[in-house]
Structure 1
């Protein structure tokens, strides 16, 4: 398995993967060298860089996340939530066909190993609150603001 790093506005992205695909992208607070990017991770690093620059709204990567069948089903449903949009945990659960599974869906969402590419940050509480985000709510807010079609402008 290969590893690469990318400095982003909200932390260092750590990529892990191999020829079978991208296994994980996580955010870490520590700074890591981003000099050497293994060939199997070049496209992932490039596409995430474009996302942060504002020129990419969809990813085209070979994904290979490790998890249970249920988790993979939830992560697949997350891929259906478009850039700039949010859905509630309840709505996501309804889309998966079992409203009683809301806690399990929320738990699977929290274990998403592919930061940003599988957009778990787009899932919010039914009342619109930003709830539960493994990377920290400040990052979730930043990502949603970054994707918002309405940009807050400074008065000064």
Structure 2
């Protein structure tokens, strides 16, 4: 399998975007690159990632989202793989509007499995297309921020960003641009 790979700068770290066939197959933070690659290889076996600017226009839409157009990610085709239950969870999570949160238990109940909040959390943790499948919008039953594989600080920033809050975190939390002569994640593939 060959996929196009792009890096997208964000205030909370560089994002790696893998796309092909008109869909996003992977989206994760560059400091989570080993997990990103493992997820792709678990679904497709050997994967060739080729550097490409703005594959399928998805990088531009991601930048628009980060610039405040919270609807920019809606309707983007994704190929996340996963079990039937995971795909149901991810489809339900995609229905959560920007600026809104839902509890793990609420999602479980909406899927007809009210006692499966833990399974919803596990599915969220295996989401290979962060932001587009907005697992950051899923919170604990009391509204507490729990379980975001890229870090609670990023989850907090994303929720504040969608709520319109500015300055909740430093302009650049992590994932600064590489120093002169240092290879980017795309170049390392």
What TM-score does the superposition give when structure 1 sets the normalisation length?
A: 0.86
1:48 aligns with 2:50: no
Runs of 4+ in structure 1 deviating by more than 2 angstroms, as ranges, are 36-39, 55-58, 151-154
CA separation of 1:152 and 1:18: change in aligned 2, threshold 3 A = closer
The within-5 A match list for 1:33-72 is: 37-38=52-53, 41-59=55-73, 60-72=75-87
How far 1:152 sits from its partner (Å)?
6.2
Aligned residue number for residue 100 of structure 1: 115
Quote the Cα distance in structure 1 between the aligned partners of 2:120 and 2:101: 16
Shift in Å at residue 84 of structure 1?
Answer: 0.6
Contiguous gaps of at least 5 residues in structure 2? 33-50, 169-189
Instruction: Decide whether the 8 Å contact of 2:90 with 2:133 is kept in 1.
Output: yes
From 73, 79, 93, give the equivalent of 1:78: 93
Q: 1:33-65 CA distances to partner (integer Å, 9 max, x unpaired)?
A: xxx5356x2411001100110024242322111
Following the alignment from structure 1 to structure 2, what is the Cα–Cα distance between the partners of residues 116 and 44?
A: 12
Higher relative contact order (CA closer than 8 Å, sequence separation 6+): 2
The one of 162, 165, 188 equivalent to 1:147 is 162
Structure 1 residues 152, 22: closer, same or farther in 2, change over 3 A? closer
- The answer (yes or no) to whether the contact 1:47–1:56 under 8 Å persists in 2 is no
Partner SS for 2:14 = strand
State the aligned residue count: 148
Q: Distance in 1 between matches of 2:7 and 2:83?
A: 26
Q: CA deviation at 1:128?
A: 1.1
**C-alpha distance in 2 between matches for 1:12 and 1:80:** 25
Say if 2:10 and 2:66, in contact at 8 Å, map to a contact too. yes
- The CA distance in 2 between the partners of 1:133 and 1:153, in whole Å, is 21
Which residue of the partner structure matches residue 3 of structure 1?
5
Whether the 8 Å CA contact 1:13–1:28 is kept in 2: the answer is yes
